[in-house]
C-alpha cells in the first residue's frame, strides 16, 4: 500500500499545526499570568512563591496552570491522531480535529472564567473528536491490514 499525500491531507497538517499553536498560546498566557502576579518563572501551583498570593490570585493562577497542563497532556494524542487518521480519512479527521480545537478553546476559556464547572461545555466537543480520531485511525489501520 502506498501513501499519497493529497490536497485533502494538507488540512490535517494545518489542523495539527493549529493544535500546537493553541497549546503554545495558552502556555504564553500562563507565563504572562506569572509575570502579572510578580511570580518567578519557575513558580508552580502550591510552591512557596505562590504562597504570597491572595486567595483570589492563587485561584486564578491555579486555573491558568491547569489549563496549560491539560493542553500539554492531550497535545500528543490529538496531533498524532489527526495525522494518522488523516492518512485514511483526511476530511473526517480534519473536521474532527477542528472540533477538538474548538472544544479545547471553549474548555480553556470556561475553566479560566468559571473554574471546574466551566470546562464541561468544551468536553462536549473534545471527547467525540478524540473518539472519532482514534476510531478512524484504528479502523483505517485494520482495513489496510485486511482485518476488516
Q: What does the block give as the cell for 91?
A: 476530511
Task: Kindly list the distances between the CA atom of residue 125 and the CA atoms of 19, 60, 96, 97, in Å, as whole numbers in the listed order.
Answer: 14, 24, 9, 10
pLDDT number for residue 3:
65
Per the CB < 8 A criterion, the answer to whether 92 and 85 are in contact is yes
> What is the number of other CB atoms lying within 10 angstroms of the CB of residue 8?
14
Give tens-digit pLDDT for 77-129.
Answer: 999 999 999 999 999 999 999 999 999 999 999 998 898 899 899 999 999 99
- End-to-end Cα spacing for the chain: 16
Question: 51 or 15: which carries more pLDDT confidence?
Answer: 15
Confidence (pTM): 0.83
Please enumerate in sequence order all residues whose Cβ is within 8 A of that of 119, keeping only pairs 6 or more positions apart, or say none: 107, 110, 111
Write out the H or E segment, with its range, that includes residue 124.
helix 120-144
Amino acid at each position: 500500500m502506498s501513501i499519497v499525500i493529497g490536497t485533502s491531507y494538507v488540512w490535517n497538517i494545518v489542523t495539527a499545526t493549529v493544535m500546537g499553536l493553541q497549546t503554545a498560546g495558552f502556555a504564553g498566557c500562563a507565563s504572562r499570568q506569572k509575570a502579572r502576579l510578580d511570580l518567578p518563572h519557575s513558580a508552580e501551583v502550591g510552591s512557596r512563591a505562590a504562597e504570597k498570593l491572595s486567595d483570589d490570585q492563587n485561584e486564578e493562577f491555579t486555573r491558568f496552570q491547569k489549563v496549560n497542563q491539560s493542553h500539554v497532556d492531550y497535545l500528543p494524542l490529538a496531533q498524532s491522531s489527526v495525522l494518522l487518521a488523516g492518512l485514511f480519512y483526511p476530511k473526517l479527521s480534519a473536521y474532527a480535529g477542528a472540533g477538538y480545537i474548538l472544544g479545547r478553546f471553549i474548555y480553556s476559556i470556561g475553566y479560566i472564567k468559571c473554574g471546574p464547572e466551566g470546562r464541561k461545555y468544551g468536553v462536549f466537543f473534545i471527547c467525540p473528536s478524540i473518539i472519532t480520531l482514534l476510531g478512524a485511525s484504528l479502523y483505517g489501520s485494520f482495513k489496510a491490514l485486511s482485518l476488516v
